[in-house]
Amino acid sequence: MVTGLHMAAAAVFGVWLFAAASAQVKTDSGFVRGVSANGLVMYKGIPFAAPPVGDLRWRPPQPVKPWAGVLAADKFAPASIQSGVSMPGEPPPPVSEDCLYLNVWTPAKPAAKPLPVMVWIYGGGFTSGTAAMPLYSGDRMAHQGVVCVTFGYRVGPLGFLVHPELTKESADHTSGNYGFMDQVAALRWVQRNIAAFGGDPARVTLAGQSAGATSVSVLMCSPLAKGLFHQAIEQSGGMFEPVQLAPRVLLKNAEVEGESYAKSLGVHSIAELRAIPAKDLLKGEWENVSHVVIEPYLLPESPYNAFISNRQNSVPVLIGSNADEYRAMNAHPELIVAATFKADLEKSWGPLPSQLTRAYPYHNDVEARRARLALERDLRFGWDMWALARLASSLGRQPVYYYHFTHEPPFPKNSVKAGWGASHYAELWYMFDHLDQENWKWSPSDRTLAREMSSYWVNFIKFGDPNGAGLPHWPAYTPAQPRQLYLDSKIHAGQVANLDTLGVVDAVYSQVRGSAFGSRPPR
What CATH number should be reported for the domain holding residue 428? Answer: 3.40.50.1820
10 occurs within a structural domain: no
CA distance 197 to 200: 9
How many CB atoms sit inside 10 A of residue 396's CB?
A: 9
User: How, if at all, do strands 24-27 and 35-37 pair?
Assistant: unpaired
Measured CA to CA, the distance from residue 27 to residue 24 in angstroms comes to 10
Same domain, 289 and 320: no
356 and 485 within one domain: yes
Domain boundary among 311, 332, 362: 311
Q: At what angle do helices 383-395 and 499-513 cross, to 10 degrees?
A: 70
- CB of 249 closer than 8 Å to CB of 292: yes
Tell me which residues are annotated as active site. Answer: 210, 325, 424
Q: Which residues pair with 299 in a beta bridge?
A: 295
**How far is it between the farthest Cα atoms of the chain?**
83
Q: Does 12 map to a domain?
A: no
Q: How many residues does the chain have?
A: 523
- Cα(207)–Cα(122) distance, integer angstroms: 9
Q: Could you tell me if residue 8 is inside a domain? A: no
Pair 394, 261 in one domain: no
Asked if 406 contacts 423 with a C-beta cutoff of 8 angstroms, the reply is no
Q: Does some domain include residue 11?
A: no
Whole-angstrom distance, CA of residue 405 vs CA of residue 425: 10
| Any domain includes 454 | yes
469 C-beta neighbours (distance < 10 Å), count:
6
Strand partners, 107: 40
C-alpha separations of 497 from 322, 483, 509 in Å: 10, 10, 19
- 7 falls within a domain: no
Q: Are residues 367 and 466 in the same domain?
A: yes
E strand spans, 8-144: 24-27, 30-33, 35-37, 40-47, 70-72, 101-107, 115-121
* E strand spans, 99-218: 101-107, 115-121, 147-151, 199-209
In sequence order, the β-bridge partners of residue 30 are 27
What is the reported pTM?
0.94
Same domain as 249, residue 153: yes
* pLDDT of 523: 58
CA distances 299 to 177, 223, 294, 523, Å, are 8, 8, 5, 21
Total domains in the chain come to 2
- Give residue 375's domain range: 316-523
521 and 427 fall within a common domain:
yes
Residue 384, SS3 per DSSP: helix
* Residues in a beta bridge with 148: 105, 118
Q: Which of 263, 295, 311 is the last residue of a domain?
A: 311
**Nearest-angstrom CA–CA distance, 323 and 429:** 16
Strand partners, 25: 32
Sign of CA dihedral 511, 385, 129, 327: positive
Measured in degrees and rounded to the nearest 5, phi and psi for residue 242 equal -60, 135
Do 257 and 364 belong together in one domain? Answer: no
Q: Is there a single domain that holds both residue 307 and residue 371? A: no
Residues 6 or more apart whose CB falls under 8 angstroms from that of 23 comprise 33, 34, 35, 36, 41, 108
Question: 356 with 505: CB under 8 angstroms?
Answer: yes
Distances (CA, A) of 392 to 37, 232, 369, 477: 40, 11, 33, 10
Residues 335 and 214 in one domain: no
Could you tell me the strand order of the sheet in which 101-107 lies?
A: 35-37, 40-47, 101-107, 147-151, 115-121, 199-209, 231-235, 317-322, 400-405, 483-487, 492-495
Helix (H, G, I), strand (E, B) or coil at 37: strand
pLDDT at residue 17, rounded to an integer = 40
Is 169 among the domain residues? Answer: yes
Give the Cα separation of 255 and 423 in Å (integer).
35
Distance between CA 290 and CA 163 in Å, rounded? 12
**One domain, residues 495 and 424:** yes
Q: Which of 249, 278, 311 is the last residue of a domain?
A: 311
Residue 491: inside a domain: yes
Same structural domain, 281 and 383: no
Per-residue pLDDT of the chain (523 residues; tens, 9 = 90+): 334 433 333 333 333 343 444 599 999 999 999 999 999 999 999 999 999 999 999 999 999 999 999 999 999 999 999 999 999 999 999 999 999 999 999 999 989 999 999 999 999 999 999 999 999 999 999 999 999 999 999 999 999 999 999 999 999 999 999 999 999 999 999 999 999 999 999 999 999 999 999 999 999 999 999 999 999 999 999 999 999 999 999 999 999 999 999 999 999 999 999 999 999 999 999 999 999 999 999 999 999 999 999 999 999 999 999 999 999 999 899 999 999 999 999 999 998 999 999 999 999 999 999 999 999 999 999 999 999 999 999 987 899 999 999 999 999 999 999 999 999 999 999 999 999 999 999 999 999 999 999 999 999 999 999 999 999 999 999 999 999 999 999 999 999 999 999 999 999 999 999 999 998 776 5
Does residue 242 sit in the same domain as residue 96? yes
